[in-house]
Amino acid sequence: MNILVIGEGPHYAAFLEKGGLSGHRVQQVISLERTGSLADYELVIDLNFDENTERAGVYARFPQVPVLACIVRTSLSELMNNYAFEQGFSIIGCNWLPGFLTMPVMELSIIDYEQATAVNDIMSALGWEYEIVEDRVGLVTPRVICMIINEAYMAAQEGTASREDINTAMRLGTNYPMGPFEWCDKIGIRNVCSVLDAVYRATGNERYKISALLAREAGMDVAVM
C-alpha cells in the first residue's frame, strides 16, 4: 500500500515501533498541508487528528481513501454532524495517543458496519490485531486508564499515599503493567487532562472531572474537582 502518515517526529517514531509497515510505501508529513492530493494514497494514518478535526473536511472529498484517525476526544458521529460526507464516510477512529501505540490489540471505532470489511482488509495487510468498540468520546481504554490516573492524583492530593506507593500498589495489587503515574508520564499529562475533560463534557459524569492537582501540574484551565 501507499500510505501517508501525519504526525510530529517523536509521535511518528513511537508509531514506527508498532511495526507492520515493511513492504509498504510510507510518507510521513507533519501536517496535511505538506502533501499533495490524497488520491495518491491508499491509506492515511492521522496521528494527531484530535487536535486538527478540520481535516475531516478534506477527508470528505476523498471517500475512496480510508483514514485511520486518532479520535479519542471527539466521536465519529459528531464528525458526521459537523462535516458533509456526501459521497461516503472514510474515517475510522483509532487510539493513537502516546502510550497506546504499541498495544497488541488496536482499539477502533466505526460509524457503520459497512466499514468493517475495509477495516479487516487494512488490518490484515498491516498484520495488526484489532477490536471494534462503540463510537463514543474516550473510546474504552483511554477513558478507563485516564480515570484511574485521575483517581490516583486525587489520592495523592489527599495524602492517602505517595506516588511511588500508589504505582507499586497498582502494579502488584491489580497486575497492571504500569502504575497510574507511570501511565501518565507515558501518555503525557496534557493528553490525560484533555481526554478526561472531553469525556466529562460529553457525559457530565463527575468521575471524569479533573482533580485540582492533575490540572495544576498539567498547567491547564479546565473544570476541576
Ranges in the chain annotated CATH 3.40.50.720? 2-132
Q: For residue 183, what pLDDT is reported?
A: 95
The whole-number average pLDDT for the span 153-181 is 87
Kind and range of the H or E element at 142? Answer: helix 141-157
- Of 163-167, 201-205, 206-210, minimum mean pLDDT range: 163-167
CATH superfamily of 2-132: NAD(P)-binding Rossmann-like Domain (3.40.50.720)
Helix then strand then coil, % of the chain, to nearest 5: 50, 15, 40
CB-based contacts of 95: which residues, under 8 Å, 6+ apart? 70, 72, 103, 106, 107, 139, 141, 142
CA angle, 179 then 195 then 98, to 5°? 60
pLDDT digits (tens, 9 = 90+) for 14-49: 999 999 999 999 999 998 876 778 999 999 999 999
pLDDT at 137 over 70: yes
Q: With bands split at pLDDT 50, 70 and 90, how would you rate the model's confidence at 224? A: low
Over the Cα atoms of the chain, what is R_g?
Answer: 18
pLDDT digits (tens, 9 = 90+) for 61-79: 999 999 999 999 999 999 9
Give the span between the Cα atoms of 188 and 186, in whole angstroms: 6
Average pLDDT value over all residues in the chain = 92
Indicate the class that CATH gives domain 141-218: mainly alpha
Model-wide pTM > 0.85: yes
Ranges in the chain annotated CATH 1.10.1040.50? 141-218
Q: For residue 160, what pLDDT is reported?
A: 86
State the burial class of residue 174 (Cβ atoms within 10 Å of its Cβ: 0-12, 13-18, 19+).
exposed
140 vs 169, more confident: 140
